[in-house]
Amino acid sequence: MFTRAVSRLSRKRPPSEYHGNDGLNIQDQNLKGTQKWATSLDNLLEDPEGVAEFTDFLKKEFSEENLLFWLACEDFKKTEDQEQMRKKAKNIYTTFLSSKATSQVNVEGQSRIGEQMLKQFHPLMFQKLQEQIFNLMKYDSYGRFLKSEKFRQLRSSEEDESSSSSVGESAAKRASIVYNT
């Protein structure tokens, strides 16, 4: 059973396969920046700039530990070296899950999570907890991020850049037509 789970994990799958694609269609794949971030949390988390902006937002809401935990679990799942996996598992436990954690996340069954979970580590050992945190972000902080002033400013800034570059292209095309005739 463990080898099947590992072999399934080793195939590269986008986050949307784990969490549903939130209605993403072919047209959405052509979107960039904030437009793409607004289509799904998966899209936001696939973009390093989106992650940075979302982290900044979560810091102000005092809930960045959720995203940091999710990112740590993503990194953990990609770890192949057993010694590295052991170190990362211990770090995730002490940073996010222990009752004495410095950035404790709030997951179901928190009181039952103990160091015994570190005795048998494997790439999917944090999967259920990671999914809980993903859903917490998806249905809570992600929506607030999309409604935030910060997101509106980013979107407006992108739209301004887009419209100014298309105006420049139009002027260049007009000038080319005028001077080439």
Q: Could you report the per-residue pLDDT of 66-98, keeping only the tens digit for each?
A: 999 999 999 999 999 999 999 999 999 999 999
Tell which residue, 108, 138, 126, 88, has the closest CA to residue 9.
126
So what's the pLDDT on residue 127? 93
Angle at 148 between CA 142 and CA 150, to 5 degrees: 110
CATH number of the domain located at residue range(s) 29-144 in this protein: 1.10.167.10
User: Would you say residue 116 has pLDDT above 70?
Assistant: yes
Q: How distant, in Å, are the alpha carbons of 23, 59, 93 from that of 107?
A: 27, 19, 12
Domain ranges of the chain: 29-144
- With cut-offs at 50, 70 and 90, classify the pLDDT of residue 111: low
- Mean pLDDT rounded to a whole number for the chain: 79
CB 68 within 8 A of CB 44: no
So what's the pLDDT on residue 109? 79
CB 129 within 8 A of CB 107: yes
What dihedral do alpha carbons 67, 72, 75, 81 form, nearest 10°? -170
- With cut-offs at 50, 70 and 90, classify the pLDDT of residue 13: very low
Region 19-33: mean pLDDT is: 55
User: Would you say residue 108 has pLDDT above 70?
Assistant: yes
CB 14 within 8 A of CB 42: yes
Region 124-144: mean pLDDT is: 95
- With cut-offs at 50, 70 and 90, classify the pLDDT of residue 118: confident
User: Would you say residue 175 has pLDDT above 50?
Assistant: no
Which residues have a Cβ under 8 Å from the Cβ of 169 and sit 6 or more positions away? Answer: none
CB 61 within 8 A of CB 144: yes
Percent of the chain, pLDDT > 70? 72
